[in-house]
Chain A
Amino acid sequence: MNPPTSTAPPPAPLPPQPAAKGGATRPGDRIFVGLSRGSGVLLLVIMAAIAVFLTYRAYIAISDNQANFLTAFEWNPQGQPPQFGIAILAYGTVVSSIIAMAIAVPIAVGIALFVSHYAPRRMASPLAYVIDLLAAVPSIVYGLWGALVLVPYLDGMNSWLDQYLGWTYIFEKTSSGPARNLFTVGILLAVMILPVITNVTREVFLQVPRAHEEAALALGATRWEVIRMSVLPFGRSGIISASMLGLGRALGETMAVATVLSPSFLFSGHLLDPGGGTFAQNIAAKFNEANEYGRDALIASGLVLFVMTLIVNGAARMIIARRKEYSGANA
């Protein structure tokens, strides 16, 4: 803390106010500084506590593991000897999230552009409100919808994909069964992360300075060219952060995935084959019936998810920072 009175208070030059004692020594200021500093410190403490807890429990589990934790295709922590690895989970998490992002980001940017720049104003705000509502639907509801509506519906689409795009390997269906696969999970996750990406990008698009848009308009740009010249470049970092928010939700989504996916620890590069798993889904499915050691193993997988999320966020920040001098912030 600063020494409170070492810098002499200004000798009350102009205003004859009783409270003119100088900066941080007023009680209100001191309380506020303390509160905000405390909140900042508290955040760091919580983050550190989570990291320490995860690392400690993970260490207990991994040190007894007889299989390679990162590459093994099995999950048997309560066996003798305990053998478990996260390869299947990492694969399932990453693949389903990539599918979700590939579907959701373009659609979300499109919706955001429509709401912010194309839709008549009478239509724009109800539409934005409906998108907000989508974000408020609980994830278990999405899961039920996925299992009861999306899965049967996608059965047909899966056969179609298999028939016409089977040669691409990833869309080849090698085992029969309902569409409880990573592809379906990806689509479901896309629907779930759509509102958050849409809302954040819409906010950013609405903040594009009028002057930038008029600059393009005055040069004879059409509406689409205005968007390409001034809206998208200005919104670029916003689109990235919004996508990362969505990715964070896709990576960590639990209930919806657990409801739709029929989990298995068999590796398959074919997206349409039933089975697979994600970190969060695996933890939710196994946590209740696991013993102390089994839980430590699950926590170890949770640590990997935690680190993955940190890396994703770090990468997003780097992308944003690298183009800072070109961003609209200094204009």
Chain B
Amino acid sequence: MAKRIDISGLSAYYGGHKAIEDISMTVEPRSVTAFIGPSGCGKSTFLRTLNRMHEVTPGGRVEGKVLLDDEDLYGSQVDPVAVRRTVGMVFQRPNPFPTMSIYDNVAAGLRLGGSYRKSELDSVVEKSLRGANLWNEVKDRLNKPGSGLSGGQQQRLCIARAIAVEPQVLLMDEPCSALDPISTLAIEDLIGELKERFTIVIVTHNMQQAARVSDRTAFFNLAAVGKPGKLIEIDETERIFSNPSVQATEDYISGRFG
């Protein structure tokens, strides 16, 4: 299921503004890679280049290569819609489809792919909701709107929706920043379970979170406001938080930054 991502020489632009510059790294399959760094350093932009969501923004443009097990996501033959079916995404704010029931939210991705029998949909919905640790809380109200759930439940619903289509990679853009500590803990536990099946990349502002959930951590920084963000280093999470090889990383992690 899970695939390795090889990124080389990747830059992303908003119109004439270069947001990130020349990033190269490898994301290992079946592991959690965390992106940390100050606001505006381009880590969310970088994340969005991994499922070709960046180019949806007006003026958005990408240079470089992203290989998903040797297949270039930015190849001229590649359909961005197909990329997004392979690389799932969970957003900062929970965004279930407000007009759909809980069931329909989870089934939405499958229905895009083609037609399924009701029994098939039922089993995928249940499996995905169980996978997102939400099944027990919602099994009696699958036909109620998803927007009626609490914020933490909504975010797990979004995770269920994303994993229902069995993606190779799951991107998470600060998935806990709008949630309370208990919901955050539930999501972090879930991430630990999901990495058995998926390659997970998570952007977070919370360094304890990065230390708790991730296997590898990448630190991004920018030289000054208006300058493009760059990858400073990527390493085992333990090393990044105990003995990073770059001084800037240590400054950021220990709070002596900016």
Query: Chain A: residues with CB nearer than 8 A to chain B?
Result: 121, 209, 211-212, 214-222, 225, 229-230, 233-234, 236, 323, 325-328, 330-331
Query: Are A221 and B112 in contact, CB atoms less than 8 angstroms apart?
Result: yes
- Cβ of B19 < 8 Å from any Cβ of A? no
Residue pairs across A and B with Cβ atoms less than 8 A apart, 7 shown, are A121-B58, A219-B84, A220-B81, A233-B97, A326-B98, A331-B95, A331-B98
With contacts A211-B91, A225-B112 taken as known, whether A220 is within 8 angstroms of B98 at the C-beta atoms is no
Q: Considering only CB atoms, which chain A residue lies closest to B144 in the complex?
A: A325
Complex A-B, nearest 9 residue pairs according to Cβ-Cβ distance, in ascending order: A220-B85, A233-B99, A331-B98, A218-B89, A211-B95, A219-B109, A220-B84, A215-B95, A331-B147
CB distance from B180 to the nearest CB of A (A): 18
A-side contacts of B81, CB under 8 Å: 220-222
Per the 8 Å Cβ criterion, residues 54-96 of B in contact with A are: 56, 58, 81-85, 88-89, 91, 93, 95-96
Query: Chain B: residues with CB nearer than 8 A to chain A?
Result: 51, 53, 56, 58, 81-85, 88-89, 91, 93, 95-100, 108-109, 112-113, 145, 147-148, 158, 161-162, 165
For the residues of A in contact with B, the DSSP-based class is helix
A-side contacts of B158, CB under 8 Å: 215
Q: State in angstroms the CA–CA spacing of A216 and B84 once bound together.
A: 10
Query: Are B95 and A212 in contact, CB atoms less than 8 angstroms apart?
Result: yes
Pick from B51, B88, B99, B165: contact of A326, CB under 8 Å: B99
Query: Are A220 and B58 in contact, CB atoms less than 8 angstroms apart?
Result: no
Q: State in angstroms the CA–CA spacing of A331 and B145 once bound together.
A: 11
Q: State in angstroms the CA–CA spacing of A211 and B56 once bound together.
A: 12
Sample of 17 further A-B pairs with CB below 8 A, known A214-B91, A217-B53: A209-B95, A212-B97, A215-B97, A216-B108, A218-B51, A220-B109, A220-B113, A222-B81, A229-B97, A233-B100, A234-B99, A326-B98, A326-B99, A328-B98, A330-B98, A331-B95, A331-B98
> Which of B85, B91, B99, B112 is most buried by chain A, counting CB atoms within 10 A of its CB?
B99
Question: What total of A-B pairs shows CB separation below 8 Å?
Answer: 82
Q: Considering only CB atoms, which chain B residue lies closest to A331 in the complex?
A: B98
Q: Considering only CB atoms, which chain B residue lies closest to A325 in the complex?
A: B145
A-side contacts of B109, CB under 8 Å: 219-220
CB distance from A106 to the nearest CB of B (A): 20
With contacts A219-B108, A219-B112, A225-B112 taken as known, whether A214 is within 8 angstroms of B84 at the C-beta atoms is no
CB distance from B104 to the nearest CB of A (A): 10
CB distance from A96 to the nearest CB of B (A): 33
CB distance from A311 to the nearest CB of B (A): 27
Query: Are A230 and B97 in contact, CB atoms less than 8 angstroms apart?
Result: yes
B-side contacts of A209, CB under 8 Å: 95
Q: Considering only CB atoms, which chain B residue lies closest to A211 in the complex?
A: B95
Query: Are A219 and B98 in contact, CB atoms less than 8 angstroms apart?
Result: no
Query: Are A229 and B108 in contact, CB atoms less than 8 angstroms apart?
Result: yes
A-side contacts of B89, CB under 8 Å: 218
Query: Are A217 and B85 in contact, CB atoms less than 8 angstroms apart?
Result: no
Q: Considering only CB atoms, which chain A residue lies closest to B164 in the complex?
A: A219
